[in-house]
Amino acid sequence: MEDSTSKDGGRPARPTVGLFVTCLVDLFRPSVGFATIELLEKAGCDVAVPVTQTCCGQPAYNSGHRKETAAIARQVIAAFEGFDHVVAPSGSCAAMISHHYPALLADDPSWVQRAQKLAAKTHELTSFLTDIVSLKTVDAAMPSNTTVTYHDSCSGLRELGIKAQPRALLSQVENLELREMEDSEVCCGFGGTFCAKYPAISEVIVSAKTKTIAATDADLLLAGDMGCLMNMAGRLRREGRSTEVRHVAEILAGMTDAPPIAGTEEERS
Amino acid sequence: MSSARKTILERIGKAMDEGLVPTLSERQQGANARLSEKKPALVPASANVFGEEAIALFSAKAEAVNATVVRISSSAEIASAVTDYLATKNLPAKIRRGADPLLDQAGWESEPLLDVSIGPSDGSDIAGLSVAASAVAETGTLTLCSGPENPTTLNFLPDYHLIVLPVDRLHGSLEKSLRRLVDEATVEDRALPRVVNLVTGPSRSGDVEQQIVLGAHGPRALHIILLG
Amino acid sequence: MKVHSADFIERSAEAIGDAQLQRALGNVRAGFIGKRAKAAAALPEFEAIRDAAVDIKNHVLGHLDVYLERFETNVKAAGGHVHWARDDDEARSIILDICRKADAKTVTKGKSMLTEEIELNAHLQEHGIEAVETDLGEYIIQLRGETPSHIIAPAVHLNRDQVEADFRRVHSHLDRTRVLDSPESLLGEAREVLRQRYFEADVGITGANFLVAETGSSVIVTNEGNGDLTQTLPRVHIALASIEKIVPTMEDLSTILRLLARSATGQEMSVYTTISTGPRRDGDQDGPEEYHVVLLDNGRSALLGTEFQEVLRCIRCGACMNHCPVFHAVGGHAYGAVYPGPIGAVITPALAGIDKAGHLPNASTFCGRCESVCPMRIPLPKLMRQWREKEYEQGYQPGGMRRGMSLWAFAARHPRLYRIGASIAAPLLSRLGGTRHRISRLPFASGWTDARDLPAPEGETFMQAYAKSKTRNAA
Ligand code: SF4
C-alpha cells in the first residue's frame, strides 16, 4: 500500500478511497453505495465521493461510440486520480476503468499514463477488501439462518479474476450458508444494452439462470454487479419464484433494512 | 493463375511493409531461422518418458481411447498374436497385410490355418495388419507411413486394424516422433512419404446427439502388438 | 459468400420457438464444455502451450508471404500442384477445372468449412458434378439441404429421430422394417451407404487444418476416417486451404495439435491426423495420382496489419461457440452465415461487410467466456466491439440506437445535467414500483419488461442521499 504513514510521521495514515458509485447503484440502489462506504471505513479507509462522477462509459463503449467514451474516461480520470485507491461495487465498472481505459486512451499521449495510473489503483469492492486492505473481520450476521447462492458476474470473473474473494468474505458472515448453483460462471444474459437489443435471446439466457438458482433452493441470491442482479431479480419475480436478491455488499455490511432488489415474492399483487 | 499468386503475395507484402515485419529480407531471415532451428516450443513434462515408462504410458493412453494392446518379445510371435486376436473377436482366420520386411519373419508358418495375403485393401478385407513407423507415448498415437510396404488403404478399409509397433520406435513426444520421420525420410532431399497417418484409437463419430460411437468410416477396432 | 444475417432477429426468434432445436442445443451445453474443461485441466502446461501457440501464429502472420512461397516450393518438389485463388470465384473455377480435367462425375468431400465459404457443392452441381459429403454430420445435413450449424459438429442442431426420418426417406432401397433408432445404427447405415461412394468418386476434396511450410504438407484432423478415404481412394486429391493455415515446422504443428482436439472435443488427439505430401510415389499401390493444394485468400490478406489481424490465428476448434450463451440459445443457423458463434461474429463482417452482418457482433453479452477458452487467445469480445465501432463510424448503426446512446453519452459528460436527470427519474420510477418495488410494464423499456420485472429504484439517487447524510453529519 502506498502512503502507509502520514507526513508528520508515527501514526499510520488512513488510505484515501474514491468511491466510484456506478450509475446503476446511484439510480436504483443507493443502499449498496452506503454499504460499500461502511465496509471501506471498517477496513480503515477514508472514503470520498467525487460529485463529478456519472458513469464509467461502458454502455457507450460497447455500442461502438469510442470517442464519446474517451471523453467520459478523461472525466473519470480527472475526478479520481487524486485518491490512493478507487473502489467500485461492480466488477464490470472496475474492469472498464482498469482494463479498458488504458486501451481507449492508448493513442492520446497526454492521457494514457494517467489512465494507466488510475487503472493500477482501481478495484472491485470484494477484491479490494481481500486482496488490497485485507479486512480482518466482516463482523456481520444474518438475522436468521439463511442459505445464499452466488452468481459470478462475467466481467469481474473473467477480466478481474474475482471468484474466491466474495466467498471468503461471505464465509465470515454468521448464520449464512453458501450453496453453489450449477454454472455459476455462466452469463445471466444482461450484457448491458444487449438485453434491450436482443430481448428474446436475453430472456432464454436469464431463464436458464433462474432455473439453476431455483434448483439450489437458496433463500437469497447474491452477486457483485447491479446489472446482473436487476436482470436476475426481475426474472425471478416475473416467474413467481421466492428467491430474494441483494448485492453482496449489503450482506457483508449487515445492511439489509431496504427491501430486496425487486421486492419480495409476498409483495406480488 | 499466376496473377492471383502475385496479387496475394503483394497484398501480404504490403501489409507487412506497413508495419508487421518491415523488410522482405528481415522476413526471410526470420522464417529461415525458424525453419532451420526446428525448435520445440513447449513439450509437456509428461511426454518426457523413456524405456518401460514410455511403453506403460503409451499402452495406458492407447487403451484409454479404446485400442487394445498386447506385447510380444520377438517378431516370430506376430502371427500367433494375430491369430489370437482374430479368435477372441470371433473373426475368420484371415489377414491382409503389407510387405513390410519386419513381417517376413513373423512366424506365419506356425499358423497354417491363418489365411495371409499381401497388398493394399479393396474394401473386402475384415482385418488388416500394418507396421508402425513410430509412436507417441504422450497420447497413445501410432504413426504410419505410406509406401509400397504399408499401403494406406490397409489403415482405413478393414474393420479391424492390427498394428505392430517395435518398442524401439516409441518416442515420448509428438515432436520427437515427427522430427525423426522427417529426418529419416528427407535424407538426400527426398520428400516425406506421400502420407503420414497419426492414428489414435479406432475411428469414431459424435455427430448424432454428441454421443460417441466407435467405427465410423475407418476401423471399428484397433489392436496394437507391441514388439520387444 | 451469401449472408442472411440481416434477419438475425427473426431467425433467432424462430430458433427459440423451435422445440426440436432447443432440445438438440442441450447437447452442446452438456457435451463439449465439461470435456474441454477436463482435458485442459489434465495437461498442466495447457495455459503455457496456449501462449506458445499464439507466438507461433503471430510469427507466421508476420512472415506469411515468405512461408507461403516456401510451402509452394516444397509441394512442387514433392510432385504436387499449388493453385492460388484471390476469392471464392477463382477457387471454384480452379477446382471445377481440375475436376473436369479428371473427367469427374462424382467427387467425395471431407469436412471443410472453407468449401462452405465458397459454396463449392452448388457450383459443382451446376456443372454436372455430384459432390458427396462423407463426414456423418455433413452427410446428414446434405440430405436435408441444410448448411452446417456448427463448425465441427455440423448436425448438432438435430435429434436422432430427425436423422432417422431423413435416412428412411433417402435410403429407400433398404429394408423398411430395419431398426434405426440409435446413434450406432444410424452411423452403421451411413457407413455402408458411403463406402460405395468413396470407390465411385473420381476426385476427393478435403480442407486443411494446417499447411506445414517446412515439408509442403497439408494436414487434416478427423475422427471418422472419412477424410482419409476421401483423399486416398480417388485418382485426384484436392486440398482447399486458406492462406493463414501455415505453420512453419513439425514442432509448431505439434504444439498447436495439443490444443486443437482438447479445445474442440476434449480429446488429447483426434483419431486421425493426416499429413499429406504430394501424390502417389513410385511403387505405391494406393493413394491419389494427383495432389493439388488450392490456396485461398478471400479477404484474409486484407485483415493483416489491421486491428482485426488476430482473428487469423483461429484454428476453427469451435470452443468459442460451444461456450457461448447466445449460441446455446439460438444455435448456428440463426446467424445466417457460414461461421456462427463468436468467431463468426468477427469473421462474417470481414468477409461480407459490416453493413450486411451488423447484428452478429452486436448479439453478444460480452461475457468473455469465448475468449477465456479460445486456445489461440483471440480477444473475440474486443474484436466484436471494434466491429461495433466500425458500424457506428460508417453510419450503419440503427438510428434509434445511435441517437439514444449519443444523448446518454452527452449526459454522462455533463455531471450536473446527469444529476438532475437521475434525480427526476429515480423517484418517478420508484413510485411506479409502489410497495412491490418492481415495475411489470414500462412502455419505453418493453424489451426489458416483456421478459422480466424492472426492479424499482429505492427513491432518491445515491448522490442525493449521500449529500443529505453529509449535511446531517455536519450539523
Ligand atoms: S476463435 Fe478461438 S475458440 Fe473460436 S474457433 Fe477460432 S480458435 Fe477456436
CA proximity to A200, closest of C391, C18, C399: C18
Cβ separation of C229 and B219 shorter than 8 Å?
A: no
Domain ranges of chain C: 43-302, 400-474
3-state secondary structure C32-88: HHHHHHHHHHHCCCHHHHHHHHHHHHHHHHHCHHHHHHHHHHHHHHCCCEEEEECCH
**pLDDT averaged over chain C?**
94
Q: pLDDT-derived band of residue B19, with 50, 70 and 90 as boundaries?
A: confident
Does any ligand 1 atom lie closer than 6 A to the CB of residue C233?
A: no
Percent of chain C with pLDDT over 70: 100
Q: What is the pLDDT of residues C116-157, one digit of tens each?
A: 999 999 999 999 999 999 999 999 999 999 999 999 999 999
Sequence-separated (6 or more) residues with CB below 8 Å from residue C157: C21, C24, C25, C149, C150, C331, C332, C333
In terms of residue numbers, what domain contains B16? 2-37
* pLDDT tens digits along B177-218: 999 999 988 777 778 999 999 999 999 999 998 899 999 999
Residue A67, pLDDT above cutoff 50? yes
**pLDDT band with cut points at 50, 70 and 90 for residue A2:** very low
B41, C297: Cβ pair inside 8 Å? Answer: no
Residue-averaged pLDDT of chain A: 93
The domain total for chain B is 2
| ipTM of the complex as predicted | 0.97
Q: Which of residues 120-179 of A touch C (CB under 8 A)?
A: 154-155, 158-159
pLDDT, tens digit (0-9, with 9 covering 90-100), for C160-212: 999 999 999 999 999 999 999 899 999 999 999 999 999 999 999 999 999 99
Q: Has residue C352 got a pLDDT over 60?
A: yes
Contact B66, B202 (CB under 8 A): yes
Cβ of C53 closer than 6 Å to ligand 1, yes or no, is no
Nearest atom of ligand 1 to the alpha carbon of C343: 1
Is domain A137-267 classified as CATH 3.40.50.11810? yes
Q: Is residue B116 part of a domain?
A: yes
What is the mean predicted confidence (pLDDT) over A98-110?
Answer: 95
Q: Residues 141 to 170 of B: which have CB under 8 A from any C CB? A: 141, 146-148, 151-153, 155-157
In contact, B146 and B191? CB cutoff 8 Å: no
**Ligand 1 pocket residue status of C68, Cβ below 6 Å:** no
Q: How far is A57 from chain C (nearest CA, A)?
A: 7
- Residue of C303, C309, C376 best suited for mutating to test ligand 1, as the one with most atoms within 8 Å of CB: C376
Class of domain C43-302: alpha beta
Q: For ligand 1, atom 7, name the residue with the nearest CA.
A: C314
Average pLDDT of the segment spanning A78-106: 97
Nearest ligand 1 atom to the CA of C346 is 1
Same domain, B33 and B121: no
Q: Quote the pLDDT of residue C474.
A: 74
Same domain, B187 and B128: yes
Same domain, B179 and B132: yes
Helix (H) or strand (E) holding B30: helix B24-37
For residue C308, the CA-to-ligand 1 centroid distance in Å is 14
Alpha-carbon gap, residue A244 to A34, rounded angstroms: 20
| B100 and B120 Cβ atoms separated by less than 8 Å | no
**Torsion from C-alpha of B96, B97, B98, B101, nearest 10 degrees:** -150
Same domain, B134 and B57: yes
Question: Where along chain A do its domains lie?
Answer: 16-131, 137-267
- In eight-state DSSP terms, residue C434 is G
pLDDT at A135 over 90: no
Q: What is the pLDDT of residue C475?
A: 65
Q: Above 60 in pLDDT, residue C438?
A: yes
| Same-domain status, B177 and B98 | yes
Q: What's the pLDDT band for C442 if we cut at 50, 70, 90?
A: confident
- Is residue C221 helix, strand or coil? strand
What is the tens place of the pLDDT at every residue in C221-240? 999 999 999 999 999 999 99
Does A12 have pLDDT greater than 70? no
> Is position B174 within any domain?
yes
The reply to whether residue C56 touches residue B40, judged by beta carbons under 8 angstroms, is no
pLDDT digits (tens, 9 = 90+) for B63-110: 999 999 999 999 999 999 999 999 999 999 999 999 999 999 999 999
Interface test with C, best of B7, B143, B180, B210 (most C CBs within 10 A): B210
Are B16 and B100 contained in the same domain?
Answer: no
Residue B43 domain-assigned (yes or no): no
In this prediction the pTM is 0.95
